[in-house]
Amino acid sequence: MNAFLLGSDQRIVRAARVSYAKDEVLQVERDIKLIRYLLENRHSSPFEHVVIAFESSEEFWLELLRKVKNPTFQAYYDGKFIWLNLRNVINALDYIPQEVMDLLKERLPATYSVIKGEEVKGYSTDKAYIQKKVETSSGFIALVDKLELESPMDYYTFVVECPIFVARQWFRHRFGSYNEVSRRYVSYEPSFYIPAYLRKQAKHNKQASLDQPVEEPWNSQFLERIGFFTRELNNLYLQMLEKEVAKEIARGILPQLMKTRFYWTVPRISLDNFISLRSHESAQKEIREFATAIKDMVGYKKWDKTMRL
């Protein structure tokens, strides 16, 4: 049986620690404790950034769906491979083929040992923090890892930094897994996206803009006021923290121009859908730049065209 894995022990930790904006930190002993904590306390989303594919039959796939008595269980079959993220593997542990368990033991030694209740004797790390990175006018996108088997379910992990209003558009693409930085936890000063100029509203499309600035002096005056109020709100936010206002309340005053960062693990069919929809001329310029960057990094294979809706 051929089996393949996207991710590592560290990938789980990175997806969890992005909440604290400490996903670049490597502390093996603490990382292992974190994996154990996540598992014991049912914090499951970081496990979704590890993906397993193994060769199997449609009959075994259907049998797996029947046997796992959990309505949230998800497994996908592309005609050759069954695809599951690690969260679903854990929920189906009693029915996973031994060859796949052997792969988990080899590639996720710490996580496997924690799942099995055994002494941890190893820890796997990512080969690199990122493989490719593209800067856009409002942030960046970086390819962390990919698993390509010439399937609509090929998987990719990205780390993205963008304004909140872009992230909220992004999260509408729900066939994938997200873990995002949280200002409930982080203490560093936020950063903001201020556009080079303010685009005009399109006259015949309520959702679109024209790639040309509004007339002067309004463009310059509005940008100056945006900068002023952004600085004032940021200063107020920092003052509130100094006076021990809870971060989860204080963050409410920060504008949508504030940047956020998140991990996104997504199958190719959903990735192609993102590229197709978000590179369209009607999409907002900022997210259109991200869609173009993704296409340049990993290509566009048109698997979204197989979906009716």
Q: Are 73 and 65 in contact (CB under 8 A)?
A: yes
Question: Any idea what DSSP says for residue 56?
Answer: -
Q: What are phi and psi of 301, to 5 degrees?
A: -110, 5
Residue in 176, 9, 20 with CA at minimum distance from that of residue 83: 176
Q: Where are the alpha helices (DSSP H) in the chain?
A: 9-17, 28-40, 58-67, 86-91, 98-107, 109-116, 164-170, 218-242, 247-250, 268-278, 285-298
Q: Are 24 and 142 in contact (CB under 8 A)?
A: no
Handedness of CA 226, 227, 233, 234 (dihedral sign): positive
* Residues with catalytic roles: 278
